[in-house]
Amino acid sequence: MQRVDELTKHSAILLEEKSSNAASSALDAISEALSISSRSEKLLEMKAEALYMLKKYEEAIQLCEQPLYVAQNSSSEAEIDKQITSTDGCGCYSIAMLWRGHLMSKSYFYMGKLEKALELLQKLEHVGSWKDEHGSKILEMSVSLAVTIRELLRLKTAGNEAVCSGRYTEALEHYTLALSSNVESRPFAAICFCNRAAAHQALGQIADAIADCSLAMALNENYTKGNWLEACFSHCSPEGRSISGNSLGAGSLRRLSWPNEAFSRRASLHEMIRDYGQASSDLQRLISILEKQCDKTSHQSGTKDKSTGNLKELRQAQRRLSSVQEEAKREIPLNLYLILGVKPSDSTSDVKKAYRKAALRHHPDKAGQFLARSETGDEGQLWKEIAEEIHKDADRLFKMIGEAYAVLSDTEKRSEYDLEEEIRKTPIKSKSNAYERARDDYGYHYERSSSRRYWRGNWNDYKNSHSRW
């Protein structure tokens, strides 16, 4: 047993480092020790912890879900005897049940399945107290996590109910509070960003909605590297009823897996502002996700309904992509008013106010600031990758906002843009007359600048002559 003791001590030291490399090495050592002493409950707990550190949450849960009698039959008598009646007289708990419940709840939390996590934690709360120091520490951490989860779920539910009732500003407040409280569960944070984007969209705050979708997408892409999730969620009421049918309309919350929701909604938002090139890119990424989901479910038993649903969604996304690509060929200018959140009837002063507000809010250097975390270790590297993705998307949005301002703040450019919009909306039979009016009004032949490169050129001139906020 000397070898087992050596491996156990070595593994404990490695796990203290809390890095993926150390956890991987610890897992190897633990597996070797378990091959010698399969009855060690301590080794099983350490193995589950190593899997958790490696973000192999499903494997950790599977280990913990082994029937307790199997675990007990594989444990030493001394460990099995470590039981104590809870203070409220609910019964007996073994240390094996305790650490399993806690580790499973943590895994569910980081997978974004907060309801499942809370269900387990509520059982642990009934234990009340524990004589053993290790057990007491587990209970203390469990109670703390339960408090966090209850508050997050309360805020999300309040936000969903506000959306359903059309109280979109109130919904924004609830989702923002949830995100300010905790973003450690990245899938849950992504869900809140998606829901907040729906509320922004309902209020006509398109740039804000795009930014929130970008944040959700950055969390998704970095989270799912090598760790594909299907954290499906239901929204809109405590009972989980969906309100949106088959569309992603303003203020609607869909019953979708959250990676799909972010990409689909942002594609819709880019369509709204007529940025068909970016909408195509979003849909291509969505299709890639759906193809992986279809491939995965096709190889699993008992997932026929889920596979059919994924295939249907994939085909819808492919049809959307085809339609958007056709629109992109028309080279219609961006909807500058919608980007800046102003109306054609608004004054130049209103345009300037809207620009200052949008530019300050969406400056790339400020994007995702509250997501900042430790800059060391594996988590630090992961958050750095997320921040880089967020900065890239924010920079693009910021330039788009600047492009809108460059045109709408200039009287001559705005008049020309408005005239082009009028001509574009004119029925085909009347367009020849519209061009004649344009020529007469401006004293020159109006060359239709439907090429978006014209407006892009204006933005490049503007960008080079103004300092960053």
Q: Residues 64, 103: contact at Cβ < 8 Å?
A: yes
Nearest Cα to 11, choosing from 26, 28, 31?
26
pLDDT at residue 49 in the model: 96
d(CA 458, CA 469): 19
Count Cα neighbours of 134 within 13 Å in the Cβ-side half-sphere. 11
d(CA 306, CA 300): 10
Backbone angles phi, psi at 425, to 5 degrees: -85, -10
pLDDT of residue 133: 83
Single-letter residue type at 35: S
Regarding beta strands 92-94 and 83-85, do their DSSP bridges make them parallel or antiparallel, or are they unpaired?
antiparallel
pLDDT digits (tens, 9 = 90+) for 136-176: 899 999 999 999 999 999 999 999 999 999 999 999 999 99
pLDDT score for 382: 76
- Hey, how many other C-beta atoms are within 10 angstroms of the C-beta on 181? 12
Helices (H), 206-248: 206-223
**Mean pLDDT calculated for residue range 110-131:** 89
Tokens standing for 247? 């569309």
* Residue 131 burial by Cβ neighbours in a 10 Å radius (0-12, 13-18, 19+): exposed
Work out the pLDDT band at 416, boundaries 50, 70, 90: very high
Residue 438 has pLDDT above 90, yes or no: no
- Return the DSSP state at 94: E
The set of long-range contacts for 122-130, using a CB threshold of 8 Å and a minimum separation of 24, is 122/146, 124/98, 126/86, 126/88, 126/90, 127/86, 127/87, 127/90, 127/93, 127/98, 128/86, 128/87, 128/88, 128/90, 129/84, 129/86, 129/87, 130/84, 130/98
pLDDT at 463 over 60: no
Residue type at 32? E
Residue 273 has φ and ψ, to the nearest 5°, of: -90, 5
Cα angle vertex 393, ends 312, 206, to 5°?
Answer: 70
**Residue closest to 199 by CA, chosen among 190, 208, 188, 189:** 208
Measured CA to CA, the distance from residue 107 to residue 344 in angstroms comes to: 50
* Alpha carbons 178 and 443: distance in angstroms, whole number: 57
> What residues contact 372, with CB distance under 8 A and at least 6 apart?
383, 387
Quickly count helices (H) and strands (E) in the chain: 21, 2
The tokens describing 279, both together, are: 């909408």
- Residue 1 scores a pLDDT above 70: yes
Higher pLDDT, 239 or 73: 73
CA distance 330 to 351: 27
Query: Which domains, ranges and CATH numbers included, belong to the chain?
Result: 334-469 (1.10.287.110)
What proportion of the chain, given as a percentage, has pLDDT over 70? 72
Q: Which two tokens stand for residue 390?
A: 């967020």
Residues 6+ apart with CB under 8 A from 402: 355, 359, 459, 462, 463, 466
What was the pLDDT predicted at 159?
98
Q: What is the DSSP string of 178-215?
A: HHHH--SSHHHHHHHHHHHHHHHHHTT-HHHHHHHHHH
Query: Residue type at 8?
Result: T
Q: What is the pLDDT of residue 429?
A: 53
3-state DSSP assignment of residue 257: strand
Tokens of 42: 């301590």
**Buried b vs exposed e over 279-298: b needs ≥16 C-beta within 10 Å?**
bbbbbbbbbebbeebbeebe
Is the separation of the CB atoms in 459 and 334 below 8 Å? Answer: no
Q: Nearest CA to 404 among 206, 246, 226?
A: 206
Is the confidence at residue 302, as pLDDT, over 70? no
Tokens 């509520």 correspond to: 122
pLDDT band at 250 (very low <50, low <70, confident <90, very high): low
Q: 51-65, 264-278, 295-309, 405-419: which has the minimum mean pLDDT?
A: 295-309
Number of neighbours of residue 250 by Cβ within 10 angstroms: 18
d(Cα 227, Cα 234) in Å, to the nearest integer?
Answer: 22
Higher model confidence: residue 127 or residue 317? 317
Q: Which two tokens stand for residue 332?
A: 């219609």
Q: pLDDT (tens digit, 9 = 90+) per residue, 34-67? A: 999 887 889 999 999 999 999 999 999 999 998 6
Q: Is 450 exposed, middle or buried (0-12, 13-18, 19+ CB in 10 A)?
A: middle
pLDDT > 90? residue 324: yes
Note the pLDDT tens digit of each residue in 335-347: 999 999 999 999 9
pTM of the model: 0.81
Q: Whole-angstrom Cα distance, residue 170 to residue 361?
A: 19
